[in-house]
Structure 1
Amino acid sequence: MIIIDGSEGEGGGQVLRYACALSLMTGEAFTIGNIRGGREKPGLMRQHVTAIEAACVIGGAECTGLAVGSNSISFRPGRVTPGDYHFAVGTAGSTALVLQTVLVPLMLADAPSRLVIEGGTHAMAAPPFEFIERTLLPVINRMGPTISARLVRHGFFPRGGGWIEVDIVPAALRPVECAERGALRRVGATAILAGIPFDVGDRELKTAAKTLPDWPPESFVTRQLPADQGPGNALLLEAVFDNVTEIMSAFGKIGVPAERLAKTAARRMAGYLACEAFAGPYLQDQLILPFAIAGGGHFSTVKLSQHTLTAAALVERFLGTGVRFAEHEDGAILVEVGRS
């Protein structure tokens, strides 16, 4: 039984998602206390409960203490079974974070699976659907499996109501090298609006354009969704390279000026573009688990996040796999998985 302090490292829901996935793949049971001890509102939220429930369903696992607000659980895995699954968060909790909990175990199963996940697709503190589809999955697919994802309906905070579908054709994971992102092919900025005044998106795009002055005017566009999918707003900044696509995002929030949100996202994109690294700040931690399961590989990235350091610590505890970080002269970090 592995004992985990949920307040250490990243101190949030990532510890839960990684622990559940690793437990299903290794057969190691775990207990975690002080759940989300590093957050303003500790304990399990609805999206965390759904993610753990999903892990229990696909993996025949038993979990005690599982309830909204709980600060400790014990998780005992069973056998991962592929199939057709439907999970509903019931709030605007992230569909992407539920997917991350079950994705790697299912892509190592002995038959294909299909997932339907309902909840938030574009909300704070979680990757938007486009990041999963265009940034993460292409790297995973290079490693062997074939995974495709579709956005059926957008879901914004606080209403939710989003719907994604994911098809997984499993395969053994092979190590890959992701040190070079290649040449920049195109860029784009999209302001998505649902039941929100057009002016909000226009202000976001104008602010982003000031921080990214080299981007052509035609790359800034507004997309209006049916009002019944809102109210909601998202800004997506995309840079497509030969070997990777990076997406930075911002989400409309009551009381926060559109200009402030757009400026923050644009500065993050500018920082990434100024570096030569393959993985941006939000892709790096999501590559640790599949690379560890593959038994090796490496990628270059920007400044390390607490999410990444926490992910590295967890794969070492469950798998005994080391992760080595080496800084290059240009500021990029080389992450080597499988090295002690």
Structure 2
Amino acid sequence: MIKIDGSFGEGGGQILRTSLGLAALLQKPVHIFNIRAKRTKPGLRPQHLACVKAIQKITKAEIKGAEIGSKELVFIPEGIYPGEYVFDIGTAGSTSLVFQSMLLPLMIAQDCSLIRIKGGTHVPWSPPFHYLRYVFAPTLADLGVKIKLNINKWGFYPEGGGEIEGKIYPSQTLKAKNWLKPPVFSQLKAISACLNLAEHIKKRQANTLINQLEKIGLKAELREEEAKGRGKGSFLFLWIDEHIKAGFSALGARGKAAEKVAEEVFNNFLSYYKKKVTLDPHLSDQIVPYLSLAPGKSEFTTIVSSHLLTNIWVINQFLKRKITCSGKIGQVGKVEIV
């Protein structure tokens, strides 16, 4: 049985999700302890428990320790079962993270799967739905993994109530990729949206972002959206739609000016723009498990994060691949998988 120390590296929920996804895909039992040891509230929270139960359902796994607050989990998968599934997180927990957890095993299943997940679609500390759709999914397509994503209802923190759908198609052998040529920033796109808030908020977000981009000589094709769902919230998303996909987003909050939301997006983008790397920091740690499953050499440049280094460590507990990452946290680094 593979043993994973959940306190390693950044010590958060990512260790749990990657471990369960790889254990399910490889059909290997895993024992995870010290779950989320470095968080204020360690152990399984509702969102993490939703991931556990979702993967248990699609693998008919035997599990021990699946309860709120648990710091230890034993997971023994018994197959991979594609089909139609509905999961309700019950809180504003991230629907994106639950979907990503299930994707690893279901992409190698013998048939398509249709997954509907209810919870938070645009919430802090997780990729928003639009990042999955416009950055993560197209990048996976380059590797040979096909998914189709739709949003039925938006869900912001703390109300949640959102709903996404994802269709996962069976994938054959994944392709190795060499992403070493940065984008030229000729295809920038953006979405400014709000839910049950005044119209001027999304317009101020949009105008501020466009003005900031113009100052450095860039333009973006921007559209405004009226989100549908319950609760209130605002969202701004900027992405690169070239051979390289990268995304930068921010959420509104009570007392946070629309202009501040736009500045947050722009500053995150500007850091990436100046570093001249290929993959943004969030995509780099999300895509490494898939590149590790592709035969052949893959490589890319990125801004190194603790999440990336931690995910590499987790993958190395399951797969016999040599994965190296040059550079320190916050600096430019190169990842090679051979």
TM normalised by structure 2 equals: 0.91
Q: Is the 8 A contact 2:178 2:300 kept in 1?
A: no
Shift of the alpha carbon at 1:304? Answer: 0.9
Structure-1 separation of matches of 2:127 and 2:63: 26
Shift of the alpha carbon at 1:127? Answer: 0.5
Structure-2 separation of matches of 1:271 and 1:319: 32
CA, structure 1 residues 173+97, in 2 after alignment: closer, same or farther (shift >3 Å)? same
Q: Is the 8 A contact 1:26 1:319 kept in 2?
A: no
Structure-2 separation of matches of 1:78 and 1:210: 54
Which deviates the most, 279-288 or 108-117? 108-117
Structure-2 separation of matches of 1:305 and 1:274: 17
Shift of the alpha carbon at 1:87? Answer: 1.2
State how 1:93-108 maps to structure 2 within 5 Å: 93-108=93-108
Structure 2 partner of 1:316: 316
Shift of the alpha carbon at 1:68? Answer: 1.7
SS of residue in 2 equivalent to 1:126: coil
Shift of the alpha carbon at 1:221? Answer: 4.6
Structure-2 separation of matches of 1:44 and 1:261: 30
Structure 1 partner of 2:170: 170
Shift of the alpha carbon at 1:332? Answer: 4.3
Shift of the alpha carbon at 1:28? Answer: 2.3
Over the aligned positions, Cα root-mean-square deviation in angstroms equals 2.0
Structure 1 partner of 2:209: 208
CA, structure 1 residues 49+187, in 2 after alignment: closer, same or farther (shift >3 Å)? same
Q: Which amino acid aligns with 1:43?
A: G
Structure 2 partner of 1:248: 248
Structure 2 partner of 1:39: 39
Residue 125 (structure 1) aligned with residue 125 (structure 2)? yes
Structure-2 separation of matches of 1:156 and 1:87: 17
Structure-1 separation of matches of 2:27 and 2:268: 39
Structure 2 partner of 1:48: 48
Q: Is the 8 A contact 1:189 1:220 kept in 2?
A: yes
Structure-1 separation of matches of 2:197 and 2:225: 11
Q: Is the 8 A contact 1:211 1:267 kept in 2?
A: no
SS of residue in 2 equivalent to 1:283: helix
Residue 223 (structure 1) aligned with residue 225 (structure 2)? yes
Q: Which amino acid aligns with 2:230?
A: Q
Shift of the alpha carbon at 1:263? Answer: 1.9
Structure 2 partner of 1:276: 276
SS of residue in 2 equivalent to 1:189: strand
Q: Is the 8 A contact 1:143 1:175 kept in 2?
A: yes
Q: Which amino acid aligns with 2:250?
A: A
Which deviates the most, 84-93 or 269-278? 269-278
Which deviates the most, 4-13 or 94-103? 4-13
Shift of the alpha carbon at 1:141? Answer: 1.4
Structure-1 separation of matches of 2:180 and 2:84: 35
Structure-1 separation of matches of 2:268 and 2:71: 33
Structure 2 partner of 1:294: 294
Structure-2 separation of matches of 1:178 and 1:266: 23
Unaligned runs of 5+ in 2: none
Structure-2 separation of matches of 1:68 and 1:257: 35
Structure-2 separation of matches of 1:288 and 1:294: 10
Q: Which amino acid aligns with 2:226?
A: Q
Q: Which amino acid aligns with 1:157?
A: Y
SS of residue in 1 equivalent to 2:206: helix
CA, structure 1 residues 189+139, in 2 after alignment: closer, same or farther (shift >3 Å)? closer
Structure-2 separation of matches of 1:298 and 1:275: 20
Shift of the alpha carbon at 1:274? Answer: 2.1
Q: Is the 8 A contact 1:191 1:222 kept in 2?
A: yes
Number of aligned residues: 332
SS of residue in 1 equivalent to 2:239: strand
SS of residue in 1 equivalent to 2:82: coil
Structure 1 partner of 2:237: 236
Identity %: 32
SS of residue in 2 equivalent to 1:47: helix
CA, structure 1 residues 140+225, in 2 after alignment: closer, same or farther (shift >3 Å)? closer
Structure-1 separation of matches of 2:90 and 2:23: 25
Structure-1 separation of matches of 2:222 and 2:295: 41
Q: Which amino acid aligns with 1:272?
A: Y
Unaligned runs of 5+ in 1: none
Structure-1 separation of matches of 2:310 and 2:258: 32
Shift of the alpha carbon at 1:11? Answer: 1.1
Q: Is the 8 A contact 1:296 1:336 kept in 2?
A: no
Structure 1 partner of 2:185: 184
CA, structure 1 residues 311+65, in 2 after alignment: closer, same or farther (shift >3 Å)? same
Shift of the alpha carbon at 1:198? Answer: 3.0
Q: Is the 8 A contact 2:119 2:162 kept in 1?
A: yes
Residue 115 (structure 1) aligned with residue 115 (structure 2)? yes
Structure 2 partner of 1:196: 197
CA, structure 1 residues 110+219, in 2 after alignment: closer, same or farther (shift >3 Å)? closer
CA, structure 1 residues 323+164, in 2 after alignment: closer, same or farther (shift >3 Å)? same
Structure 2 partner of 1:304: 304
Q: Is the 8 A contact 2:277 2:303 kept in 1?
A: no
